[in-house]
Amino acid sequence: MQIQENISLRPYNSFGIDVRARYFAAFNNIEELETLLSPDSRLPTLILGGGSNILFTKDVDGLVLKNEITGITELHEDSQYVYVKAGAGENWHRFVLHCIERNWAGVENLSLIPGNVGASPMQNIGAYGVEIDDVFWVLEAYHLKEKKRVTFTRSDCEFGYRDSVFKKKFKDQFVILNVTFRLHKKPIFHTNYGAIEQELEKMGIKELSIKAISNAVIRIRSSKLPDPAITGNAGSFFKNPVVSKEQFVQLKSITHNIIGHETIEGTIKLAAGWLIEQCGPEAETSWKGFRRGDAGCHANQALVLVNYGDANGKEIFNLSEEILQSVKAKFGITLEREVNII
């Protein structure tokens, strides 16, 4: 819990951006957090989880506190569900594998998503037809100013597409301490999204299981997305934009092969990756696979911006801005960044 000075944050963010924190410390429980947030400290404070959804564009002139609260506990069960609490500092993918080993269903489609458990409700992470919203039960958070624990139910979190109260309404006001999930004792399989069914067929799976779905998702993600340990990235940099049916009809009349899927709400979710692929730094080129210095757009997935080595945060941010402007100019659609910019 010792506070260190002038610490590089490169090991603590998946982009591998080499910025420095004026002060840095890690906490393993709420008591350590409260000590670090002593009343006489007036420094701006940044809470850091797994660092997988953040882009640093400058040094942090304040106190960076890394959440390392761990532990996975089976609280109770009923005829349908098992309720499992995980510390916010638990690695998300390790938590998913822990659940699969015990046949607790509901998070298998979210395998290999980078980051920690604490970020999962904050971002309402999702993949292959499943979101945290589907399995979330309750979370405990610490109010930084009022210095007290607060419990958030599913409705309190106001989940939206890659969104929650912690990203806007209560941004930077709470530290998530732990999350409780309501997982199925009898699996409900989600295989009709993306290429899961085709991958299961390639794997020769005859009897469906949550482990088989997890393995299929891992194979798909590994083939499309770069490993942050090798190539710095934060996964999907942009959200898939949502438009009305009327807007989609207009877009389709101009661009016949535009990709869109109808949502439960009756709107159309467009594929941001496809939109980005259709644009580029020049009229006849695509952003997909583009590289300028060590900042680039991944060759297999245009949604992923990457640091090939020593790019700084401003270079990656500027590239994202160019991509945003080109998509807006061509399609009249404003993409929204999924990654938090510091």
Q: What are phi and psi of 239, to 5 degrees?
A: -80, 155
| 236 is an active site residue | yes
For residue 31, CA distances in Å to 37, 70, 149, 211 come to 10, 14, 12, 37
For residue 271, CA distances in Å to 49, 248, 276, 320 come to 28, 12, 9, 16
Residues with Cβ within 8 Å of 1's Cβ and at least 6 positions away in sequence, in order, are: 25, 26, 27, 28, 32, 35, 36
| 162 is an active site residue | yes
Return d(Cα 240, Cα 1) in angstroms, integer: 39
Q: Name the active-site residue from 14, 90, 162, 315.
A: 162
Two tokens, residue 272: 């941001």
Two tokens, residue 337: 């960044």
| 68 is an active site residue | no
Return d(Cα 132, Cα 327) in angstroms, integer: 29
Q: Name the active-site residue from 120, 214, 236, 326.
A: 236
Q: Using CB atoms within 10 Å of the CB of residue 254, give its burial: 0 to 12 exposed, 13 to 18 middle, 19+ buried.
A: exposed
Nearest to 5 by CA among 18, 19, 24, 28: 24
Can you tell me which residue has the tokens 């979190």? Answer: 157
Nearest to 44 by CA among 65, 66, 68: 65
The one-letter amino acid at 234: A
Residue numbers annotated as active site: 162, 236, 338
